[in-house]
Amino acid sequence: MEAEEVKAKASPLENFGFILWVGDERELIMAWDHKAMENIFGDKSSLVYQSAVEFQLLDLEITGCAELTPSLQSEDTLLQHFTSLHRLTIEGNSHLVQLHHLTSLQELHIDKWPSLVSFPEVDLPPSLKEIKIRGCDSLTHFARYRLPPSLRRIEINRCQNLKSLVEDRDGSASSSSSPCLTQNEESCLEYLSIWSCPSLTSLSSRIQLPKALKHLQIHTCKQLEFITDTFDHNTHLEYIHIWYCPNLKSLPEGLCYLPNLQKLSIYGCRSLVSFQRGGFEIIASNLREIDITNCDKLEALPKGMHNLNSLEILRIPYCDGFMSFLGEGFPPNLISLKILNLKSCEPLFQCGLHRLTSLRELWISGEDPDLVFFPPTEMVLPKSLIKLIVEDFPHLRYLSSKGFQFLTSLKSLYIWTCPKLESIPYEGQLVPLTQLSIRHCPLLEVRCKPDKGRYWRSIAHVPYIWLGDKRILAP
Protein backbone atom coordinates (compact mmCIF):
# COMPACT_ATOMS: atom_id res chain seq x y z
CA MET A 1 0.00 0.00 0.00
CA GLU A 2 1.51 3.35 -1.07
CA ALA A 3 1.80 6.23 1.38
CA GLU A 4 -0.69 8.30 -0.65
CA GLU A 5 -3.30 5.56 -0.47
CA VAL A 6 -2.76 5.15 3.25
CA LYS A 7 -3.23 8.85 3.83
CA ALA A 8 -6.44 8.96 1.81
CA LYS A 9 -7.98 6.08 3.70
CA ALA A 10 -7.09 7.82 6.96
CA SER A 11 -9.05 10.93 5.96
CA PRO A 12 -11.95 10.34 8.42
CA LEU A 13 -9.41 10.90 11.23
CA GLU A 14 -7.97 14.17 9.96
CA ASN A 15 -9.72 16.29 12.60
CA PHE A 16 -8.80 13.85 15.33
CA GLY A 17 -5.64 15.68 16.26
CA PHE A 18 -2.65 15.07 14.06
CA ILE A 19 -1.42 12.16 11.96
CA LEU A 20 2.24 11.79 11.07
CA TRP A 21 3.49 9.57 8.26
CA VAL A 22 7.21 8.83 8.06
CA GLY A 23 8.25 7.23 4.76
CA ASP A 24 7.06 3.68 4.34
CA GLU A 25 6.86 3.17 8.12
CA ARG A 26 3.25 3.98 8.90
CA GLU A 27 3.29 5.81 12.19
CA LEU A 28 0.06 7.18 13.64
CA ILE A 29 0.18 9.56 16.60
CA MET A 30 -3.25 10.47 17.97
CA ALA A 31 -3.50 13.45 20.29
CA TRP A 32 -7.15 13.01 21.15
CA ASP A 33 -9.21 16.03 22.00
CA HIS A 34 -12.61 15.55 23.62
CA LYS A 35 -14.37 18.03 21.33
CA ALA A 36 -12.77 16.56 18.20
CA MET A 37 -13.77 13.05 19.31
CA GLU A 38 -17.40 14.11 19.74
CA ASN A 39 -17.39 15.57 16.25
CA ILE A 40 -16.06 12.35 14.76
CA PHE A 41 -17.63 9.62 16.87
CA GLY A 42 -20.50 11.39 18.61
CA ASP A 43 -19.51 9.77 21.90
CA LYS A 44 -16.03 10.49 23.27
CA SER A 45 -15.98 7.26 25.28
CA SER A 46 -16.16 4.97 22.24
CA LEU A 47 -13.78 4.40 19.38
CA VAL A 48 -15.26 1.85 16.96
CA TYR A 49 -13.28 0.27 14.16
CA GLN A 50 -14.37 1.49 10.74
CA SER A 51 -13.62 -0.09 7.41
CA ALA A 52 -12.32 3.25 6.18
CA VAL A 53 -9.11 2.83 8.13
CA GLU A 54 -7.80 -0.45 6.78
CA PHE A 55 -4.12 0.51 6.80
CA GLN A 56 -1.21 -1.39 8.28
CA LEU A 57 -0.04 0.60 11.31
CA LEU A 58 3.37 -0.10 12.77
CA ASP A 59 3.54 2.58 15.50
CA LEU A 60 0.58 3.88 17.54
CA GLU A 61 0.73 6.43 20.37
CA ILE A 62 -2.34 7.24 22.48
CA THR A 63 -1.98 10.10 24.95
CA GLY A 64 -4.41 11.52 27.50
CA CYS A 65 -7.47 9.37 26.77
CA ALA A 66 -8.64 8.16 30.18
CA GLU A 67 -12.31 8.12 29.08
CA LEU A 68 -11.51 5.67 26.29
CA THR A 69 -10.83 2.84 28.74
CA PRO A 70 -14.08 0.91 28.10
CA SER A 71 -13.54 1.19 24.36
CA LEU A 72 -9.93 0.02 24.51
CA GLN A 73 -11.01 -3.05 26.47
CA SER A 74 -13.91 -4.03 24.22
CA GLU A 75 -13.62 -6.39 21.27
CA ASP A 76 -14.96 -3.98 18.66
CA THR A 77 -12.43 -1.16 18.74
CA LEU A 78 -9.92 0.37 16.41
CA LEU A 79 -7.07 -0.93 18.59
CA GLN A 80 -8.27 -4.52 18.39
CA HIS A 81 -7.83 -4.53 14.63
CA PHE A 82 -4.29 -3.18 14.51
CA THR A 83 -2.66 -6.60 14.47
CA SER A 84 0.25 -5.22 12.43
CA LEU A 85 1.42 -2.93 15.28
CA HIS A 86 5.10 -3.18 16.19
CA ARG A 87 5.10 -0.45 18.84
CA LEU A 88 2.30 0.79 21.10
CA THR A 89 2.54 3.75 23.49
CA ILE A 90 -0.31 4.52 25.88
CA GLU A 91 -0.26 7.32 28.44
CA GLY A 92 -2.82 8.05 31.12
CA ASN A 93 -5.04 4.96 30.76
CA SER A 94 -6.72 3.70 33.92
CA HIS A 95 -6.92 -0.05 33.19
CA LEU A 96 -4.79 -2.65 31.49
CA VAL A 97 -5.64 -2.95 27.81
CA GLN A 98 -6.10 -6.43 26.33
CA LEU A 99 -2.98 -6.98 24.26
CA HIS A 100 -2.85 -10.67 23.40
CA HIS A 101 -4.48 -10.12 20.00
CA LEU A 102 -1.65 -7.78 18.88
CA THR A 103 0.35 -10.67 17.50
CA SER A 104 3.05 -8.51 15.89
CA LEU A 105 3.63 -6.19 18.86
CA GLN A 106 7.31 -5.91 19.79
CA GLU A 107 7.49 -2.76 21.95
CA LEU A 108 5.08 -1.55 24.62
CA HIS A 109 5.54 1.82 26.33
CA ILE A 110 3.34 2.65 29.32
CA ASP A 111 3.21 6.00 31.08
CA LYS A 112 1.11 6.97 34.12
CA TRP A 113 -1.32 4.06 34.47
CA PRO A 114 -2.60 4.67 38.03
CA SER A 115 -4.11 1.21 38.55
CA LEU A 116 -1.34 -0.96 37.08
CA VAL A 117 -0.10 -3.39 39.77
CA SER A 118 1.64 -6.03 37.62
CA PHE A 119 1.48 -7.70 34.23
CA PRO A 120 -0.52 -10.92 33.88
CA GLU A 121 1.71 -12.92 31.59
CA VAL A 122 -1.14 -14.54 29.67
CA ASP A 123 -2.24 -11.18 28.29
CA LEU A 124 1.10 -10.28 26.74
CA PRO A 125 1.70 -11.08 23.07
CA PRO A 126 4.31 -13.80 22.49
CA SER A 127 6.12 -11.48 20.06
CA LEU A 128 6.70 -8.77 22.71
CA LYS A 129 10.40 -8.00 23.20
CA GLU A 130 10.49 -4.65 25.01
CA ILE A 131 8.51 -2.98 27.79
CA LYS A 132 9.08 0.53 29.11
CA ILE A 133 7.11 1.64 32.18
CA ARG A 134 7.14 5.11 33.69
CA GLY A 135 5.20 6.82 36.45
CA CYS A 136 2.97 3.89 37.45
CA ASP A 137 2.79 4.39 41.21
CA SER A 138 0.54 1.39 41.92
CA LEU A 139 3.05 -1.02 40.38
CA THR A 140 4.42 -3.17 43.23
CA HIS A 141 6.11 -5.85 41.12
CA PHE A 142 6.67 -6.20 37.42
CA ALA A 143 5.29 -9.74 37.01
CA ARG A 144 3.78 -12.61 38.97
CA TYR A 145 5.68 -15.86 39.38
CA ARG A 146 8.14 -15.30 36.50
CA LEU A 147 9.29 -12.89 33.81
CA PRO A 148 7.60 -13.27 30.40
CA PRO A 149 10.04 -15.47 28.46
CA SER A 150 9.95 -13.48 25.19
CA LEU A 151 11.08 -10.17 26.72
CA ARG A 152 14.56 -8.96 25.88
CA ARG A 153 14.40 -5.46 27.39
CA ILE A 154 12.69 -4.04 30.50
CA GLU A 155 12.92 -0.39 31.55
CA ILE A 156 11.11 0.82 34.69
CA ASN A 157 11.28 4.46 35.70
CA ARG A 158 9.74 6.47 38.57
CA CYS A 159 7.38 3.84 39.95
CA GLN A 160 7.16 4.89 43.58
CA ASN A 161 5.88 1.60 45.08
CA LEU A 162 7.81 -1.00 43.08
CA LYS A 163 9.23 -3.47 45.62
CA SER A 164 10.54 -6.30 43.44
CA LEU A 165 10.57 -7.55 39.89
CA VAL A 166 8.71 -10.79 40.47
CA GLU A 167 6.05 -11.73 43.03
CA ASP A 168 6.03 -15.32 44.26
CA ARG A 169 2.88 -17.42 44.35
CA ASP A 170 2.37 -16.75 48.04
CA GLY A 171 2.28 -13.00 47.36
CA SER A 172 5.83 -12.28 48.52
CA ALA A 173 8.97 -11.49 46.58
CA SER A 174 10.53 -14.49 44.87
CA SER A 175 12.07 -16.90 47.36
CA SER A 176 14.59 -19.69 47.40
CA SER A 177 11.94 -22.16 46.22
CA SER A 178 12.38 -20.61 42.78
CA PRO A 179 15.80 -21.38 41.28
CA CYS A 180 15.62 -18.42 38.92
CA LEU A 181 13.60 -15.32 38.20
CA THR A 182 12.14 -17.31 35.33
CA GLN A 183 10.69 -20.69 36.16
CA ASN A 184 10.20 -23.53 33.63
CA GLU A 185 11.03 -21.60 30.46
CA GLU A 186 14.35 -19.76 30.25
CA SER A 187 14.17 -15.97 30.00
CA CYS A 188 15.63 -14.10 27.01
CA LEU A 189 16.01 -10.88 28.99
CA GLU A 190 19.20 -9.04 27.97
CA TYR A 191 18.61 -5.49 29.24
CA LEU A 192 17.23 -4.49 32.64
CA SER A 193 17.09 -0.84 33.73
CA ILE A 194 15.38 0.48 36.89
CA TRP A 195 15.50 4.20 37.72
CA SER A 196 14.05 6.21 40.60
CA CYS A 197 12.04 3.49 42.33
CA PRO A 198 12.43 4.45 46.02
CA SER A 199 10.59 1.38 47.44
CA LEU A 200 12.66 -1.25 45.60
CA THR A 201 14.47 -3.38 48.17
CA SER A 202 15.81 -6.19 45.96
CA LEU A 203 15.79 -7.52 42.43
CA SER A 204 15.47 -11.07 43.62
CA SER A 205 15.62 -12.82 46.97
CA ARG A 206 18.20 -15.64 47.12
CA ILE A 207 17.75 -16.41 43.42
CA GLN A 208 19.55 -15.80 40.16
CA LEU A 209 19.05 -13.18 37.50
CA PRO A 210 18.24 -14.35 33.96
CA LYS A 211 21.25 -16.04 32.38
CA ALA A 212 20.96 -14.09 29.13
CA LEU A 213 21.27 -10.70 30.89
CA LYS A 214 23.87 -8.43 29.30
CA HIS A 215 23.06 -4.97 30.69
CA LEU A 216 22.10 -4.26 34.32
CA GLN A 217 21.37 -0.67 35.33
CA ILE A 218 19.98 0.45 38.70
CA HIS A 219 19.84 4.16 39.43
CA THR A 220 18.48 6.12 42.42
CA CYS A 221 16.77 3.30 44.33
CA LYS A 222 17.14 4.50 47.91
CA GLN A 223 15.92 1.35 49.68
CA LEU A 224 17.82 -1.19 47.59
CA GLU A 225 19.77 -3.50 49.91
CA PHE A 226 20.22 -6.63 47.85
CA ILE A 227 20.68 -7.33 44.14
CA THR A 228 21.16 -11.08 43.98
CA ASP A 229 23.29 -13.73 45.68
CA THR A 230 25.69 -14.34 42.85
CA PHE A 231 26.60 -13.47 39.28
CA ASP A 232 28.04 -16.96 38.75
CA HIS A 233 25.49 -17.83 36.06
CA ASN A 234 25.43 -14.40 34.41
CA THR A 235 28.43 -14.91 32.17
CA HIS A 236 26.86 -12.81 29.39
CA LEU A 237 26.88 -9.63 31.49
CA GLU A 238 28.67 -6.81 29.66
CA TYR A 239 27.63 -3.71 31.60
CA ILE A 240 26.85 -3.16 35.29
CA HIS A 241 25.77 0.32 36.36
CA ILE A 242 24.66 0.93 39.97
CA TRP A 243 24.28 4.58 40.98
CA TYR A 244 22.84 6.33 44.03
CA CYS A 245 21.72 3.30 46.02
CA PRO A 246 22.68 4.50 49.53
CA ASN A 247 21.50 1.37 51.40
CA LEU A 248 23.41 -1.15 49.29
CA LYS A 249 26.16 -2.66 51.46
CA SER A 250 27.67 -5.35 49.24
CA LEU A 251 27.74 -6.64 45.68
CA PRO A 252 26.99 -10.17 44.52
CA GLU A 253 29.54 -12.97 44.49
CA GLY A 254 31.18 -13.72 41.17
CA LEU A 255 31.52 -10.11 40.04
CA CYS A 256 35.21 -10.55 39.30
CA TYR A 257 34.79 -13.64 37.12
CA LEU A 258 32.56 -12.36 34.33
CA PRO A 259 34.35 -13.09 31.02
CA ASN A 260 32.27 -10.66 28.93
CA LEU A 261 32.08 -7.74 31.37
CA GLN A 262 33.20 -4.51 29.69
CA LYS A 263 32.18 -1.79 32.16
CA LEU A 264 31.58 -1.71 35.91
CA SER A 265 30.28 1.57 37.32
CA ILE A 266 29.41 1.98 41.02
CA TYR A 267 28.66 5.56 42.10
CA GLY A 268 27.13 7.17 45.17
CA CYS A 269 26.53 3.92 47.09
CA ARG A 270 27.48 5.40 50.43
CA SER A 271 26.86 2.26 52.52
CA LEU A 272 28.89 -0.05 50.28
CA VAL A 273 31.56 -1.60 52.50
CA SER A 274 33.23 -4.18 50.32
CA PHE A 275 33.18 -6.35 47.27
CA GLN A 276 32.55 -10.02 47.82
CA ARG A 277 35.58 -12.23 48.28
CA GLY A 278 37.81 -12.93 45.35
CA GLY A 279 39.51 -10.67 42.89
CA PHE A 280 39.75 -9.98 39.20
CA GLU A 281 41.36 -12.77 37.26
CA ILE A 282 42.73 -13.04 33.74
CA ILE A 283 39.31 -14.43 32.75
CA ALA A 284 37.91 -10.86 32.84
CA SER A 285 39.68 -10.23 29.56
CA ASN A 286 37.12 -7.82 28.08
CA LEU A 287 36.88 -5.36 30.98
CA ARG A 288 37.58 -1.87 29.65
CA GLU A 289 36.34 0.46 32.41
CA ILE A 290 36.00 0.41 36.21
CA ASP A 291 34.43 3.39 37.96
CA ILE A 292 34.01 3.18 41.75
CA THR A 293 33.42 6.65 43.18
CA ASN A 294 31.56 8.42 46.01
CA CYS A 295 31.33 5.24 48.07
CA ASP A 296 32.36 6.73 51.42
CA LYS A 297 32.42 3.55 53.54
CA LEU A 298 34.30 1.35 51.09
CA GLU A 299 37.02 -0.49 53.01
CA ALA A 300 38.87 -2.24 50.20
CA LEU A 301 39.15 -2.33 46.44
CA PRO A 302 38.82 -5.61 44.53
CA LYS A 303 42.09 -7.48 44.28
CA GLY A 304 43.81 -8.49 41.10
CA MET A 305 43.17 -5.36 39.03
CA HIS A 306 46.79 -5.42 37.92
CA ASN A 307 45.85 -8.57 35.96
CA LEU A 308 43.48 -6.62 33.72
CA ASN A 309 45.51 -6.00 30.59
CA SER A 310 42.39 -4.84 28.75
CA LEU A 311 41.48 -2.14 31.30
CA GLU A 312 41.70 1.38 29.85
CA ILE A 313 39.72 3.57 32.29
CA LEU A 314 40.05 3.36 36.07
CA ARG A 315 38.33 5.66 38.60
CA ILE A 316 38.78 4.72 42.25
CA PRO A 317 38.69 6.36 45.71
CA TYR A 318 41.31 6.38 48.40
CA CYS A 319 40.26 3.86 51.10
CA ASP A 320 41.77 1.63 53.78
CA GLY A 321 42.79 -0.91 51.17
CA PHE A 322 44.44 1.62 48.86
CA MET A 323 47.96 0.68 49.95
CA SER A 324 47.33 -2.97 49.08
CA PHE A 325 46.06 -1.91 45.69
CA LEU A 326 49.21 0.13 45.02
CA GLY A 327 51.31 -2.81 46.18
CA GLU A 328 49.90 -4.94 43.37
CA GLY A 329 50.45 -2.18 40.81
CA PHE A 330 48.28 -0.53 38.18
CA PRO A 331 46.79 -2.29 35.15
CA PRO A 332 49.49 -1.80 32.50
CA ASN A 333 47.49 -0.35 29.62
CA LEU A 334 45.50 2.42 31.29
CA ILE A 335 44.49 5.42 29.18
CA SER A 336 42.61 7.32 31.91
CA LEU A 337 43.23 7.24 35.68
CA LYS A 338 41.22 9.11 38.31
CA ILE A 339 42.00 8.82 42.03
CA LEU A 340 39.78 10.66 44.52
CA ASN A 341 40.00 11.64 48.19
CA LEU A 342 43.73 11.11 48.52
CA LYS A 343 44.60 11.51 52.18
CA SER A 344 48.25 10.70 51.61
CA CYS A 345 49.85 11.20 48.22
CA GLU A 346 53.32 9.83 48.98
CA PRO A 347 52.51 6.15 48.20
CA LEU A 348 51.04 7.18 44.86
CA PHE A 349 54.10 9.23 43.97
CA GLN A 350 56.38 6.24 44.62
CA CYS A 351 54.43 3.62 42.69
CA GLY A 352 55.90 4.31 39.28
CA LEU A 353 53.18 6.16 37.39
CA HIS A 354 55.72 6.95 34.66
CA ARG A 355 55.59 3.29 33.64
CA LEU A 356 52.02 3.78 32.37
CA THR A 357 53.18 4.64 28.89
CA SER A 358 49.66 4.70 27.41
CA LEU A 359 48.19 7.06 30.01
CA ARG A 360 46.53 10.09 28.42
CA GLU A 361 44.47 11.48 31.30
CA LEU A 362 45.35 11.78 35.00
CA TRP A 363 42.92 13.22 37.57
CA ILE A 364 43.91 13.34 41.24
CA SER A 365 42.09 15.02 44.10
CA GLY A 366 42.44 14.79 47.84
CA GLU A 367 42.94 16.20 51.29
CA ASP A 368 46.64 15.54 51.85
CA PRO A 369 47.82 18.34 54.19
CA ASP A 370 51.47 17.67 53.31
CA LEU A 371 51.22 18.25 49.57
CA VAL A 372 52.83 21.63 48.92
CA PHE A 373 54.60 20.99 45.59
CA PHE A 374 53.10 19.18 42.61
CA PRO A 375 54.50 17.02 41.29
CA PRO A 376 57.02 16.43 44.08
CA THR A 377 60.61 15.57 43.24
CA GLU A 378 60.10 11.82 43.68
CA MET A 379 57.18 11.68 41.25
CA VAL A 380 57.68 11.40 37.50
CA LEU A 381 54.55 11.84 35.42
CA PRO A 382 54.04 9.81 32.23
CA LYS A 383 55.29 11.66 29.15
CA SER A 384 52.20 10.49 27.29
CA LEU A 385 49.84 12.73 29.33
CA ILE A 386 47.48 14.91 27.30
CA LYS A 387 45.13 15.98 30.13
CA LEU A 388 45.98 16.67 33.80
CA ILE A 389 43.49 17.62 36.54
CA VAL A 390 44.63 18.53 40.06
CA GLU A 391 41.84 19.27 42.53
CA ASP A 392 40.99 19.87 46.20
CA PHE A 393 44.46 20.08 47.78
CA PRO A 394 44.13 22.63 50.61
CA HIS A 395 47.85 23.35 51.11
CA LEU A 396 49.19 23.05 47.58
CA ARG A 397 51.27 26.18 46.81
CA TYR A 398 53.49 25.44 43.82
CA LEU A 399 53.33 23.66 40.49
CA SER A 400 56.87 22.43 39.91
CA SER A 401 58.58 23.55 36.69
CA LYS A 402 60.81 20.49 36.81
CA GLY A 403 57.82 18.17 36.98
CA PHE A 404 56.29 19.68 33.85
CA GLN A 405 59.37 19.90 31.68
CA PHE A 406 58.92 16.48 30.09
CA LEU A 407 55.16 16.79 29.51
CA THR A 408 55.58 17.79 25.90
CA SER A 409 52.23 16.28 24.88
CA LEU A 410 50.14 18.02 27.56
CA LYS A 411 47.22 19.90 25.99
CA SER A 412 44.77 20.45 28.85
CA LEU A 413 45.54 21.53 32.42
CA TYR A 414 42.83 21.99 35.07
CA ILE A 415 43.64 23.31 38.54
CA TRP A 416 40.58 23.46 40.81
CA THR A 417 39.97 24.32 44.46
CA CYS A 418 43.54 24.75 45.64
CA PRO A 419 43.09 27.96 47.69
CA LYS A 420 46.80 28.45 48.56
CA LEU A 421 48.20 27.78 45.11
CA GLU A 422 50.22 30.80 44.03
CA SER A 423 52.59 29.72 41.25
CA ILE A 424 52.67 27.82 37.96
CA PRO A 425 55.64 26.63 35.87
CA TYR A 426 57.72 29.41 34.39
CA GLU A 427 57.39 30.66 30.85
CA GLY A 428 58.13 27.99 28.27
CA GLN A 429 56.97 24.98 30.32
CA LEU A 430 53.32 25.34 29.29
CA VAL A 431 53.86 25.97 25.58
CA PRO A 432 51.98 22.81 24.42
CA LEU A 433 48.77 23.80 26.24
CA THR A 434 45.57 24.51 24.30
CA GLN A 435 43.26 24.58 27.34
CA LEU A 436 43.81 25.96 30.84
CA SER A 437 41.23 26.15 33.64
CA ILE A 438 41.93 27.67 37.07
CA ARG A 439 38.95 27.74 39.43
CA HIS A 440 38.63 28.42 43.16
CA CYS A 441 42.32 29.25 43.37
CA PRO A 442 42.05 32.95 44.36
CA LEU A 443 45.77 33.72 44.66
CA LEU A 444 46.67 32.16 41.34
CA GLU A 445 43.70 33.66 39.53
CA VAL A 446 44.90 37.16 40.43
CA ARG A 447 48.43 36.37 39.19
CA CYS A 448 47.10 35.07 35.87
CA LYS A 449 44.96 38.07 34.97
CA PRO A 450 45.47 39.38 31.43
CA ASP A 451 48.27 41.94 31.04
CA LYS A 452 48.55 42.74 34.75
CA GLY A 453 49.11 39.29 36.22
CA ARG A 454 52.59 38.01 37.00
CA TYR A 455 52.06 34.78 35.04
CA TRP A 456 50.06 36.17 32.14
CA ARG A 457 53.04 35.99 29.77
CA SER A 458 53.40 32.27 30.56
CA ILE A 459 49.83 31.48 29.52
CA ALA A 460 48.88 34.20 27.01
CA HIS A 461 49.47 31.83 24.08
CA VAL A 462 46.82 29.33 25.28
CA PRO A 463 43.72 29.55 23.02
CA TYR A 464 41.17 28.58 25.70
CA ILE A 465 41.63 29.98 29.22
CA TRP A 466 39.10 29.98 32.06
CA LEU A 467 39.82 31.95 35.24
CA GLY A 468 37.09 31.23 37.75
CA ASP A 469 33.86 31.04 35.78
CA LYS A 470 35.00 33.43 33.07
CA ARG A 471 36.46 32.64 29.70
CA ILE A 472 39.46 34.85 29.00
CA LEU A 473 39.58 35.98 25.40
CA ALA A 474 42.91 36.63 23.73
CA PRO A 475 43.66 40.35 23.30
Of residues 206 and 414, the one with the higher pLDDT is: 414
pLDDT for residue 10: 30
The H or E element containing residue 314 is: strand 313-317
pLDDT single digits (tens) 168-202: 655 444 433 344 454 445 789 999 999 999 999 98
Report the alpha-carbon distance of residue 107 to residue 132 in Å, rounded.
8
Mean pLDDT computed over 68-97: 67
pLDDT for residue 268: 93
Report the alpha-carbon distance of residue 372 to residue 403 in Å, rounded.
13
Residues 6 or more apart whose Cβ sits within 8 Å of residue 187: 146, 147, 149, 151, 180, 181, 210, 211, 212
β 107-111/130-134 pair status: parallel
Q: pTM of the prediction?
A: 0.82
Of residues 461 and 27, the one with the higher pLDDT is: 461
Question: Is the predicted pLDDT of residue 45 greater than 50, yes or no?
Answer: no
Terminal C-alpha separation, the chain: 64
pLDDT for residue 452: 86
pLDDT single digits (tens) 402-420: 889 889 999 999 999 999 9
Contact yes or no for 100/125 (Cβ under 8 A):
yes
47 — pLDDT class (breaks 50, 70, 90): very low
